[in-house]
Amino acid sequence: MSKIPDITAVGSMALDTVTTHYGTHENCLGGSAVYFSMSASFQAKVGLIGVVGDDFPKAHVELLKNHGIDLDGLEVVKGAKTFRWSGSYLNDVNAADTHCTMLNVFATFEPKIPENYKKAKTLFLANILPSLQMKVIEEMGPDCYKVCDTMNFYINSARPELERVFENVNVIVMNDGEIKMFTDQANLIRAGRLVMEKFYPEYLIVKKGEHGSLVFGRGGFMKAIPAFPTEKVVDPTGAGDSFAGGVLGFIARNGRLNNENVAEAVRYGTAMGSFLVTGFSIDGFMDLTLAKIEERVEALRNLSK
């Protein structure tokens, strides 16, 4: 019998072409589910649901497997091409300029959840069409702890479906640009309050890139957590998903978020984002260990003192 993963995750799997001030990398491993799963894998067993074409390099599949990621939920479509995204960060290191999105195999994707994944205690909905996120929410059932992320693309193109997702999760993770766009507010505290009042999740975490994160609970704004000071940001692609991987990994080891542990969970997210951005694709995670992650969390704890 297949093992039950700690976290079931659904999202995009991609071949990305990314340009930053450190150069251009073509067709490198990317996608929201990939960054999330790689990041969470340092603390938890992830069951990944995603789709690729048969152009997706076998070496990438092996790499994910070597990180203990369960790929029973990975669909490989014969004769089809993997989702491709290209973007650059030449104007602003915190916000990608998207040049091209080629949905390819992603356009007709219907997530199929293996039976053992349905028993996972935690679900992460990485970036993917909100209608598909909703399908997975429904199939996972009411007892599963659900966390979602989103991006500008879906705020613009699928807002009603996205709002349904927000109504059905325990925790919402967004970045500052996304929540400002979503609420049409320039002030983050007000934007956070509006999202909490409308959807009433247990927590809302707003990521501000190099400026850290804000946590909102049911009583309103709770905490600001600093970012790890990082001078060399080579490629920020996937930092948000890696952040979520750190948070969900923490939850898998320590239980659901509460007012006592939420700041520590966010520090794990912050640490994972800070490692990721030091290289292109997932290079920032190579040679990483849980001990190094914990050392960085400790440094972040000291920064907040």
- Residue 31 interacts with ligand AMP (CB under 6 A): yes or no: yes
Own/partner pairs for 251-259, CB < 8 Å, 24+ apart? 251/122, 251/145, 251/147, 252/6, 252/7, 252/40, 252/43, 252/44, 252/45, 252/121, 252/122, 253/43, 253/44, 256/145, 256/170, 257/170, 257/171, 257/202, 257/203, 259/217, 259/222
- Closest distance to ligand AMP from the beta carbon of 67 (Å): 17
Could you tell me whether strands 213-217 and 220-225 are parallel, antiparallel, or unpaired per DSSP bridges? antiparallel
- Residue 153 interacts with ligand AMP (CB under 6 A): yes or no: yes
C-alpha–C-alpha distance, residues 69 and 84, integer Å = 22
Is the Cβ of residue 43 or residue 127 nearer to ligand AMP in the bound state? 127
- Residue 53 interacts with ligand AMP (CB under 6 A): yes or no: no
- Residue 12 interacts with ligand AMP (CB under 6 A): yes or no: yes
- Residue 32 interacts with ligand AMP (CB under 6 A): yes or no: yes
With CB under 6 A as the rule, give the number of residues binding ligand AMP.
17
Q: 241 vs 9, 55, 171, 212, 270, CA distance in Å?
A: 11, 24, 14, 15, 11
Query: Which of residues 9, 14, 113, 215 is near ligand AMP by CB under 6 A?
Result: 14
Is the Cβ of residue 88 or residue 254 nearer to ligand AMP in the bound state? 88
Closest CA to 204 of 237, 239, 179, 241: 179
- Closest distance to ligand AMP from the beta carbon of 190 (Å): 24
C-alpha–C-alpha distance, residues 281 and 141, integer Å = 33
Entry field: residues in the chain: 305
Is the Cβ of residue 81 or residue 121 nearer to ligand AMP in the bound state? 81
- Residue 240 interacts with ligand AMP (CB under 6 A): yes or no: yes
- Closest distance to ligand AMP from the beta carbon of 131 (Å): 13
Is the Cβ of residue 8 or residue 150 nearer to ligand AMP in the bound state? 150
Is the Cβ of residue 6 or residue 235 nearer to ligand AMP in the bound state? 235
Q: Tell me the residue nearest to ligand AMP as measured from the CB.
A: 30
In this chain, which stretch among 112-120, 199-207, 220-228, 238-246 interacts with ligand AMP, using CB under 6 A?
238-246
- Residue 19 interacts with ligand AMP (CB under 6 A): yes or no: no
Contact between residue 274 and residue 228 where contact means Cβ atoms under 8 Å apart? yes
In this chain, which stretch among 9-17, 39-47, 209-217, 222-230 interacts with ligand AMP, using CB under 6 A?
9-17
For 294, phi then psi, to 5°, come to -65, -35
C-alpha–C-alpha distance, residues 213 and 207, integer Å = 4
- Closest distance to ligand AMP from the beta carbon of 4 (Å): 26
**66 CB neighbour count, 10 Å cutoff:** 9
- Residue 213 interacts with ligand AMP (CB under 6 A): yes or no: no
C-alpha–C-alpha distance, residues 18 and 46, integer Å = 26
Is the Cβ of residue 71 or residue 103 nearer to ligand AMP in the bound state? 103
Binding site for ligand AMP (CB under 6 A): 12, 14, 16, 30-32, 85, 101, 127-128, 151, 153, 237-241
